[in-house]
Structure 1
Amino acid sequence: MTRRFGMRLDGWMTPQRCVELAVAADSCGFDALWFAENTYGRGVIPAVAACMVATKKVEVGIGVFNPFNRHPSLIAMEMGALDELSNGRANLGIGTGVAKLLKHAHLGTDKPIAAMRDTINIVRGLMAGETVTYEGKVFSADRLKLEFDPIRKDYPIHMASMGDQSIRLAGELADAVMISNLCTPGFTRHAVEMMASVADKRVLPRKPKVIQYAPCVARADRQEARNFARTILGGMIMRSFGLEGTPQTKAWHALGSNLPMDYFDEVFRKLEAGEKAVDVIDDTLLDLYTVSGNADDCLAAYQRYLDAGVEEVVVTFRGPEPLKEMAYLADALKTMR
């Protein structure tokens, strides 16, 4: 199995900061950068383009665009141009976005699974240089063709998925499934099984890859790194099991943990009551949801994801000195790659 390692950047960072981190990732030998375009934050295309110009080898991806605020035809136009700019290093991830945030702009998010199917079919055809006529349930195309020739005719499309329907669709149509932060290796095994269950419907000759996101704190001082990661994970649990969470998303986050939902509810209640994350978040939770600690800890976390079927682990360096942590972890990864 291929072993890849990537880094996540996002629209909360200035383009200048993204370029600084991208250049460091290229120097460290990371395989990929993935930009999260946060709803109503900075659009990522300026930063993505700047990072492509500033780097030589690292792949640069968008994870993810959603078709409700960017029509599939526009996605193909932009990704085709970015792939030209980067000499074939531009990767595309698509997802449905956060429905309740998109509603602030009165953007319809009905039929999300159908929207993903339509988007993949339209974008794939356009990127192959075809004239696309397609009648979908959400998005359609009538004799639509790009006015330039994309440089990769077999352009890969990655799909962010959490629910079983979405994961199965990725298994049918996508080149890779992208699994979000706060998902356990057990969740990933479940996703691999879901995709295998629709192998007879798959339209591509190759199996779908698995990309996993996780927060990362990597330092020689193990206790310092782990305690900082507890604070990061505590904040994520507060958001995902609090106002931003639904019964369904909470169940997805707990899936594969072998922990009862009552356990997560109790962690949330303690954090909400003001208890410190370093006293509430135990090692079990850290090992389920983070890449954190010293080099040995981080390599063990990386291996857990590989064992679950992941081919590319994508981390967000959450500490105040990401350049130092990137170099530290890059040295450790050399022993596994």
Structure 2
Amino acid sequence: MTTLPQIGIRLHGGQTASACVALATAADTAGLSGLWFAENAFARGILPAAAACALATRRIAVNAGVFNPFSRHPTMMAMEIVAIDELSNGRAGLSIGSGIASAVAKLGLSAEKPVPALRDTVTIVRTLLRAEEVDHAGPAFTARKVKLDFVARADIPILLAGRGNLTAKLAGEAADGLIVSNMCSAAFSGRVAALMQEARRAVGRTGAARVVQYLPCAIHRDRATALAAAKRAVGAMVPGFWALGQRLASAKDALMDGTGIGEDDFAAAAARLRAGEDAATVLDERFTAAFSIAGTPDDCLAAAAAYAAAGVTELALTFEGDEAIADIGLMGAALAGAGAAAAGAGP
């Protein structure tokens, strides 16, 4: 029997709160697993949308994915995620990441040493969620004799976001899982997931941690239509991520590990896309196979299964365009069909 990861959706500050609610309710109805609210620098803040979605849905998880401690102090993170948890009747999750260094620098701050900041944040937030007083003075963040004045759910899950080895190890040691960003291959995600799980075992923690992968999704009964949409979604990210790969070895590894796409191919594609060429013409199917879930419903389930085999436990898919709500329904129907087939097959 083919193993599939959980399937959720990624929402972001480029969407209005009303648009997020429409997508969230579609995902809830379709039986998808989670909402993941990406708070990108200088776009809309996620809290109004997350609160609205918490009230509009009944069963789907409502995850901050991610909060940046350089723009939101860890004590504020705890206060806010507990409020979302209360609104959603215990469905909230928190993810923490250090964000894009260039955006942080615009605030007069430095994210050059993200791991100590993430460690401080997890320490402060976990202590507060346990209804304990935190008295912590770390290299990045301090909270002196602070305690929430209400009782929170102590086991709100905390994940870290990042692609570097040190972040993956910290996620294993101190968090409940790891979020891997867009434009990371399944092979790369599997490698950092294994590193996180190994770090978890090394400190005596039992059970496996969660691994969430962000990906664009283009699902359609006509494969060519889906692939053209997927190429455009991936193409919108190639120039920026290729430029990031010139500065960060981990970002380049994420693009190339197991994809069969060479440096010259990436450089040429990035240049053509920057010049305004259509991604549906510039990119070949290696790019959609490596960095999206795309094709017919059966194609999408097969691609999702490959991520599960690599160690990913949940896909947070971005559905864009005028047909996004219908696409979410199509994905839900495919998952329901796969579940029914698996149940019919028996042991």
Q: TM-score, normalised by structure 2?
A: 0.92
For the 8 Å contact 1:12–1:41, the answer to whether it is kept is yes
Indicate the SS of the match to 1:216: strand
The residue number in structure 2 matching 1:304 is 306
CA deviations over 1:209-254 (Å, ceiling 9, x no partner): 1111100011111101111211221121022124796343233322
Question: Structure 2: which 5+ runs fail to align?
Answer: 340-347
1:138-163 Cα shifts (integer Å, max 9, x gaps)? 1122221101000x222210110111
Aligned residues: 336
Shift of 1:38: 1.2
Aligned pairs for 1:177-256 within 5 A: 177-202=178-203, 204-242=205-243, 246-248=247-249, 249-256=251-258
Given that 2:4 and 2:308 are in contact with CA atoms closer than 8 Å, whether structure 1 keeps it comes out as no
Work out whether 1:75 is the aligned partner of 2:77: yes
User: How big is the shift at 1:190?
Assistant: 0.8
Structure 1: gaps (5+ residues): none
Counterpart-to-counterpart distance in 2, 1:99 and 1:310: 26
Aligned to 1:336, the other structure's residue is in SS state helix
Q: Give per-residue Cα distances to partners, 1:247-274, cap 9 Å, x unaligned.
A: 4323332233243323322322333344
Alignment-derived partner of residue 159 in structure 1:
160
Q: Does the 8 A contact of 1:217 with 1:319 survive in 2?
A: no
2:266 matched residue in structure 1: 264
Q: Is the 8 A contact 2:5 2:304 kept in 1?
A: no
Is residue 134 from structure 1 mapped to residue 136 from structure 2 by the alignment? yes
Question: Please, what TM-score do these two structures have when normalized by structure 1?
Answer: 0.94
Partner of residue 175, structure 2: 174
Equivalences for residues 38-77 of structure 1 within 5 A: 38-77=40-79
- Structure 1 runs of 4+ off > 4 angstroms? none
Letter in 2 for 1:144: V
Structure-1 separation of matches of 2:36 and 2:80: 16
The aligned residue for residue 292 of structure 2 is 290
Name the amino acid aligned to 1:240.
F
Q: Percent identity?
A: 39
Within 2, Cα distance between the matches of 1:87 and 1:223?
42
Query: Which among 138, 149, 152 is matched to residue 151 of structure 2?
Result: 149
Query: 2: distance between equivalents of 1:304 and 1:243?
Result: 26
Q: Distance in 2 between matches of 1:108 and 1:236?
A: 24
Moved more, 276-285 or 210-219: 276-285
Q: How does 1:17-56 map to 2 (within 5 A)?
A: 17-56=19-58
| Compared CA separation, residues 274 and 135, structure 1 to 2 (3 A) | closer
Give the CA RMSD over aligned residues: 1.8
- Counterpart Cα distance in 2 of 1:206 and 1:116: 22
2-structure distance, mates of 1:175, 1:311:
12
Return 238-247 or 67-76, whichever deviates more.
238-247
